[in-house]
Amino acid sequence: MAPRLRRVERRAAADVHDARAVRQPPIDREAPQPLGLRLHRATSLACHSPVYTIAAVPVHAFLFDFDGLILDTETASRGGWAWLYEQHGHELPPEKWALMVGTLDGWDPWAHLEELVGKPLDRAALDDQRYGHELSLLETEVLRPGIADYLDYAQRHDVKRAIVSSANRAWIDMHLARLERQVGWDAIVTADEDVERAKPRPTLYLEALERIGAEPGEAVAFEDSPNGAQAAQAAGIYVVGVPNAITRDLGLAEHADVVVDSLADLPPDELVARLA
């Protein structure tokens, strides 16, 4: 039987989270792409004009974000806060939710809730209750559709597998243990509250590439949020965007090379064939 979840904070790096709307400009880059150009000389053409044909670059690595991509932790997190608000006779403001994922970007739900109820709250005790409700929701979560197919494909075809996340390593390990997916990863790279390494900076992706011995143009990144997609593209990696209910309207398509509703809609052999 898979172990029950215990209290482990997700905690992304301060003021940075994958699901938050991007506010920083894209980092300048001349990124290698998964498709190369091979130069040929066509002697039958006037002046020996150069002709370019596409040369395939094999895919050697799949790089996965974690929260919201491998596992839908975002819905449970929202559910925990919604439950807390309901316990005090109020509704969690849906327009504020994107600001509440992971870190609070200029909006404090505790202060807001205290303002609604008209008195200070025992935040520590209530937060334990909120988190307990969140974990109870997470107990039922499984891998998002298509993830298992990609992991199986990578194992069969010797494609490297890595997790690249701005979250806390203990948080990820806890969920992987519950899902019985601890083994098989070539690297797990996390920010662990270091804002200088967290997305949308490309640092985590560059670290992952170095650890697994892959070039940017040989890798594919899977991201559910604009910040994560921007980080991968800044590292020169082809990005497949897979939004969830929380990140669907945050502008992921602006930073991903292709966006699909679910990885189940884009089987791994089809993706690899596209890039070849």
Catalytic residue among 65, 186, 224, 257: 65
Question: Which position among 18, 67, 186, 257 bears the catalytic label?
Answer: 67
Question: Is 67 tagged catalytic?
Answer: yes
**CA-closest candidate to residue 155, choices 183, 179, 188, 176:** 183
Query: Which of 126-157 are b and which e, b meaning 16 or more Cβ less than 10 Å from the residue's Cβ?
Result: eeeebbebbbebbeebebbebbbbbbebbeee
Residues 199, 95: Cα–Cα separation, whole Å: 23
DSSP state of 273: H
Please give the structure tokens belonging to residue 244. 């969830």
Question: Torsion over CA of 222, 226, 232 and 238, rounded to 10 degrees?
Answer: 60
What does the longest C-alpha to C-alpha distance in the chain come to?
Answer: 84
CA distance 188 to 165: 8
| Antiparallel, parallel or unpaired: β 238-241 and 219-223 | parallel
Active site includes 158?
A: no
User: Active-site residue numbers?
Assistant: 65, 67
